Chain A
Amino acid sequence: MSTQDPQSKPKLAKLFRLQWEDVQQNYVLLYPEGMVKLNHSAAEILKRCDGVRDVAGIVADLEATFSAQDLHDDVDDFLREARSLNWIN
């Protein structure tokens, strides 16, 4: 599948916990006996995967928050990657 289903409402999978780590100064995903360090954009996208917003809603919110444009393709790429890693469903 080359793009997300536009109707889908990505939600962080139950297995993972997204959390700010003060010492590391970055967000991490915590899961059984493991941890992934997230870069800034990955964390901002995942924070919005609340199962309420669809992909367009996530993109719109990011563009508004960061005064950015044309984020759709980057967000879409990341969500596909995140889904393949089971981070979101």
Chain B
Amino acid sequence: MTTAATPAKPAPPLWLLAELTYRCPLHCMFCYNPLNYAENKKELSTAEWVDVMRQARKLGAAQLGFSGGEPLLRDDLEELIAEGHRLGYYTNLITSGVGLTEARIARMKQLGLDHIQLSFQDSTREMNDFLSSTKTFDLKARVAALIKKYDYPMVLNVVLHRFNLDHVAQIIELAMAMGVEYLELANTQYYGWGLLNRAQLMPTREQVVRAEAVVSEYRARIGNQVKILFVVPDYFEERPKACMNGWGSVFLAVGADGIALPCHAARTLPGMTFPNVTEMSLHDIWHNSDAFNRYRGDDWMQEPCRSCDEKARDFGGCRCQAMALTGDAANADPVCSKSPHHQEVKNIVLHNMIKPVSTQQPVIFRTDANSKQFFLG
């Protein structure tokens, strides 16, 4: 048994992501939420969330993200922010901006909210509104101004794909004009609705190369004025991402229904039962549950990961991606060129380059009606 990467007692979680609700006014085609999110409308109560936050803080989590769905749809968000602040978390609100009125933004500042991450879908109104299947561009622009008016640090998040990769320069200009501290250019990760719409979203290699060049050029020119985080489009890579910095390593997500997850997308893994915070303490979940221990360390690895000298760096990549693309979550993430399935990833990329968009299946937006098709049959 290799024990080097399998400590007897796991290090504490550093991140608690509270996915407060799966309700969302947007219908983004690349959403990572589960396809069947509408199946389970049950949400944890305020008291249950407060309990989760207290337990996670005690375990060691210092970063707290309020996400969803759209967290602003929870009427108790302010109460949860206040409690998060009192507990000593650095509190992050991850929002579409829909519902963020001046009154709420001012109140959240008083209550100790530390930072707001606002999503835009594009630098243009037309594409923003198309991708999210809403008319939200102007509203988001007003919210961005409010966030800076109330002196919050701000991350502007834009998910990138075929439809907007060529707008990267305009998106960076938009971020500079807004005065944001960070711009997260997140190339689509293909989970949930993103995986469903992969054929439409997958860019060409030329688009990726051009966008990377634009980002480098801006970084050199604007320095620290806006810090640009570029989440690589991993299908185009030769080595996998160090997903979640390792399974059960630093990240703990709790879904609206109380399911605890080592990564946002882990619900898609078949044959796994994820514990619920209403039935098990977070301490037990983090330290003792089968779900959180399943892919910790490297004992679970198969070849080529098991004997790979890079396994401590990338942890074999992403379990959910290995599952989605190879049918076995314990396989190497096929983004890795050492994976026997790597050619299939290259084929997906290639296939999308040669296939005209017009012949592809229609886009499927993240709506309750579409979601219901995934569990009603």
Contact = CB atoms under 8 A, between A and B. Distances in A.
Interface string A11-37: 000110101010110001011111100
B62 A33 contact: no
Interface string B127-155: 00000000000000000000000000111
Interface string A27-54: 0101111110000000000000000000
A86 interface: yes
The residue in B60, B62, B117 that gathers the most chain A C-beta atoms within 10 A of its C-beta is: B62
A17 B114 contact: yes
Contacts of B154: 32
A82 to B, nearest CB: 13
A22 B24 CA distance: 36
Contact of A19 (B60, B88, B117, B182): B88
B368 interface: no
A33 B117 contact: yes
Contacts of B155: 32-33
Contact of A32 (B12, B60, B62, B92): B92
Interface string B47-87: 00000000000111011010000000000000000000000
B159 interface: no
B14 interface: yes
Interface residues of B, number: 20
Contacts of B14: 35
A13 to B, nearest CB: 10
B62 A30 contact: yes
Interface string B333-367: 00000000000000000000000000000000000
B306 interface: no
Contacts of B181: 15, 32
B182 A32 contact: yes
A35 B13 CA distance: 12
Interface string B163-207: 000000000000000000110000000000000000000000000
B287 interface: no
A21 B90 contact: no
Contacts of A21: 60, 62
A28 B62 contact: yes
B40 interface: no
Given A15-B153, A17-B90, A23-B12, A32 B59 contact: no
A30 B12 contact: no
Interface string B82-103: 0000001010100000000000
B88 A32 contact: no
Contacts of A14: 153
A23 B65 contact: no
Nearest to B223: A86
A31 B59 contact: no
A17 B153 CA distance: 12
B59 A23 contact: yes
Nearest to A23: B60
A23 B60 CA distance: 5
A29 to B, nearest CB: 10
B150 to A, nearest CB: 13
Contact of A35 (B59, B63, B224): B63
A72 B92 CA distance: 37
Nearest to B11: A24
Nearest to B181: A15
B239 interface: no
B249 to A, nearest CB: 14
- Counting from the closest, the 6 A-B pairs by CB-CB distance are A23-B60, A30-B90, A32-B115, A32-B153, A15-B153, A23-B12
Given A32-B154, A33-B63, 16 more contacts: A15-B153, A19-B88, A19-B90, A23-B12, A23-B58, A23-B60, A28-B62, A30-B114, A31-B90, A31-B153, A32-B92, A32-B182, A33-B65, A33-B115, A33-B155, A34-B63
Interface of A: 14-15, 17, 19, 21, 23-24, 28, 30-35, 86
9 contacts: A15-B153, A17-B114, A19-B88, A21-B60, A23-B59, A30-B90, A30-B114, A32-B117, A86-B224
